[in-house]
Structure 1
Amino acid sequence: MKIVTFYVLDTNTTKNGLTTLEKLACKITIMKWREGKNILIACDNDDQASKIDLALWMYEVDAFIPHNLIEKKEMIICKTSIYICYTPHKIDESRNLLINMVTKNIKFSKFFDNIIEFVPHDKYLKDWARKRYQEYRNIGAKLLTVKINEKK
């Protein structure tokens, strides 16, 4: 059964070049990688993908987070645990977690049984998250919600 976890954000700030959503995506990626997951991070555009790539390189000074930014449309095969992309790709079966930051298109999510989604604070992006939620519900996915409280 497909399991989709929606992280609901209560702020939309940018700090050190990363939005609240991008920082959370990096934290979740590292946590899931440490659990042994093979991850695809699907970004909305090439700028966001480059920011996530850089953030993972710099996340911990004394740790190496193995990842690869895929810039051309090519088959993703399991050479590293974490891939970052911004265009649709053919997916090999070894990716067992999708971290989706793509606003509108979830068609490629059919390749994954475990998906992380985000509900940004911004109204426009929140409306798109609701549409994605409905699409997942319509296909019978198990839906989980986690509220992230960043306000102090």
Structure 2
Amino acid sequence: MTRIEFYVLPDSTTAGRTRAACQLAAKGWQHGLPVFIRCQDESQCAEMDDLLWGFRAERFIPHELFDEDPQAPVVIGLEQAPAIGQGLLINLAPTLSPHTDGFSRVIEIVNQQPELLTVCRENFRLYRQRGYDPKRVEL
């Protein structure tokens, strides 16, 4: 069964959330997992693409937008199904992915923005309703 984790950040900045997504993508890729970063819209996809280009000066994180190469080690997309299964999904979108079962692990990144906390609490509840056992991880 897919492992679901909610990584809880102590701050409320959007930048902290996207930086955490970059760190998790790098870690997943270094451990040999295919990584899919699910964004909320095209603008966030472009932002993540830019961030990953310059995230680590000493080590490039190989990534592409889904429409450019759905089989890249780190893929940035929206609602697309993963081209390579059983990898890591980093969900930045406010809803659950329709392809949750296609991943071995799902990470939801939560910060202290009140609106995001409300959305993530609802997602936590929805995962439980669907038979998953989501865990909370404090960062």
Tell me the TM-score normalised to structure 2 length: 0.89
SS in 1 for 2:124: helix
CA drift at 1:90? 3.0
Larger radius of gyration: 1
Using the alignment, how far apart are the partners of 2:103 and 2:85 within structure 1? 10
Task: Specify which of 55, 63, 66 is matched with residue 67 of structure 1.
Answer: 63
38-47 vs 139-148, greater mean Cα deviation? 139-148
CA drift at 1:116? 0.5
After TM superposition, list the pairs within 5 Å mapping 1:2-13 onto structure 2.
2-13=2-13
CA contact (8 A) 1:106 1:132 kept: no
Corresponding residue number in structure 2 for 1:132: 123
Q: Which amino acid aligns with 1:45?
A: D
Using the alignment, how far apart are the partners of 1:42 and 1:53 within structure 2? 12
Give the gaps of 5 or more residues in structure 2.
none
Using the alignment, how far apart are the partners of 1:61 and 1:20 within structure 2? 18
Corresponding residue number in structure 2 for 1:41: 37
CA contact (8 A) 1:40 1:95 kept: no
CA drift at 1:96? 1.1
Q: Percent identity at matched positions?
A: 27
CA distance 1:107–1:90, change in 2 (3 Å): closer
After TM superposition, list the pairs within 5 Å mapping 1:44-59 onto structure 2.
44-59=40-55
Q: Which amino acid aligns with 1:147?
A: E
After TM superposition, list the pairs within 5 Å mapping 1:50-129 onto structure 2.
50-71=46-67, 76=70, 78=71, 80-86=72-78, 88-129=79-120
Using the alignment, how far apart are the partners of 2:122 and 2:98 within structure 1? 13
CA drift at 1:143? 1.8
Count of matched residue positions in the alignment of Structure 1 and Structure 2 = 139
53-62 vs 20-29, greater mean Cα deviation? 53-62
Task: Specify which of 28, 33, 51 is matched with residue 24 of structure 2.
Answer: 28
Using the alignment, how far apart are the partners of 1:122 and 1:98 within structure 2? 22
1:143 equivalent to 2:134? Answer yes
Using the alignment, how far apart are the partners of 2:29 and 2:81 within structure 1? 21
CA contact (8 A) 2:64 2:74 kept: yes
